[in-house]
Amino acid sequence: MFTQNICPLVTGVTCNHGFVFERSYFKSISMSRDQLDNLFSEYETAFDKLDMKRISGYCADNFISAGPKGSIAQSRKEYEKKAGPAIEFYKSVGRKSAKIISKRVMPICNEYSMVVVRWGVTFEKTGARLIEFDISYIVQETGIAPKIILLISHEDEGAAMKKLGLEPVLH
């Protein structure tokens, strides 16, 4: 038989024979699956159209982009300033389309979820063959709409493109 004791170290925590449970930990997750599905459906459309301004609207005022080579914290305004060169780069390597192949949602707590998205992208050089890659997103829901606060590319985009022979073509 377990007895409950109030933990003397942390307010609001109950200790049960060495196991510590925060009272609020098992609350229901407030971010609905519909909200996340809607966010990524809209994000997919914007990414397919290379609408970087719209993509930035799905991010928090400040967010982090990360990958194998490091990370960068930036504001939406900073991201939008880089949008023009990014669009030109993708066009120069012949990017044609992008779509979500799958997504896995893992609630972290009431206010945050991790969403791992498997993307499929086509290029002029690869034809209809999808080039697949994963990006993990940490999504925050503390306001009216969920916002991306962190995105992590699982592989080095530049190295992957070079391996496929997708070098920028100047028009």
Contact 70, 152 (CB under 8 A): no
Convert the pLDDT of each residue in 36-89 to its tens digit. Answer: 999 999 999 999 999 999 999 999 999 999 999 999 999 999 999 988 898 999
Nearest-angstrom CA–CA distance, 143 and 149? 13
Contact 153, 136 (CB under 8 A): no
Contact 131, 121 (CB under 8 A): yes
Task: Give the largest Cα separation in the chain, rounded.
Answer: 75
Q: Is 71 helix (H, G, I), strand (E, B) or coil?
A: strand
Mean pLDDT, rounded, of the chain: 83
Phi, psi torsion values for 94, nearest 5 degrees: 80, 30
Asked if the model's pLDDT at residue 1 lies above 90, the reply is no
Convert the pLDDT of each residue in 132-170 to its tens digit. Answer: 999 999 999 887 899 999 999 999 888 888 888 887 665
Q: Going by CATH, does the domain composed of 31-163 fall within 3.30.1490.20?
A: no
Q: How confident is the model at residue 31 (pLDDT cuts 50, 70, 90)?
A: low
Nearest-angstrom CA–CA distance, 59 and 61? 7
**Domain ranges within the chain, ordered by starting residue:** 1-29, 31-163
Convert the pLDDT of each residue in 14-25 to its tens digit. Answer: 444 444 444 344
* pTM (2 d.p.): 0.78
